[in-house]
Amino acid sequence: MAVKYEKVRAWVEALPGGQEVMVEEWGHPTLRVNNKMFAGGAPGSSTMSVKCTKEEQEVLIAEQPDVYSIAPYVGRFGWVQVQLSKVDAGELHELIIEAWRRTAPKKLVKEYEGA
């Protein structure tokens, strides 16, 4: 059931344009597409933040408050903080894919969906 950051990074790097970018000022890496962030975390961390819609954030937190919470700093924009030790891997994978889709250029999304 537990998911490690390294697994999420591998999922992201397998997506068209997906990459990890270290932000020295923040002290941790971010996961991006076209230099636009859609997730963040760090190796060894028990949590990570993922971009969602406000509606999705509300549903996730209401249904699984032990797994999801409002992310620090960016929660007001819909981001959730995920407890990696408690999240289902398949559910997190789908959440990451949706965050990437929301952020990626349409051309990359079409490339992914056509693969």
Q: Is the dihedral of CA 53, 90, 100, 51 positive or negative?
A: positive
pLDDT tens digits, residue range 9-24?
A: 999 999 999 999 999 8
Position 1 pLDDT exceeds 80: no
Instruction: State the total domains in the chain.
Output: 1
What pLDDT is stored for residue 87 in this prediction?
Answer: 97
- The C-alpha atoms of residue 105 and residue 54 are separated, in whole angstroms, by 21
pLDDT tens digits, residue range 53-64?
A: 999 999 999 999
Instruction: Indicate the SS3 state at residue 107.
Output: helix
- Tokens representing 83 are 């407890």
What pLDDT is stored for residue 26 in this prediction?
Answer: 85
Q: Give me the CATH number covering residue 9.
A: 3.90.1150.30
Q: Is 75 exposed, middle or buried (0-12, 13-18, 19+ CB in 10 A)?
A: middle
Residue 72 in domain: yes
Residue 34 in domain: yes
Range of the domain at 9: 5-106
pLDDT (average), residues 39-49: 95
Report field, pTM of the whole predicted structure over 0.75: yes
Spatial neighbors of 73 by CB under 8 A, at least 6 apart, are none
Residue 87 in domain: yes
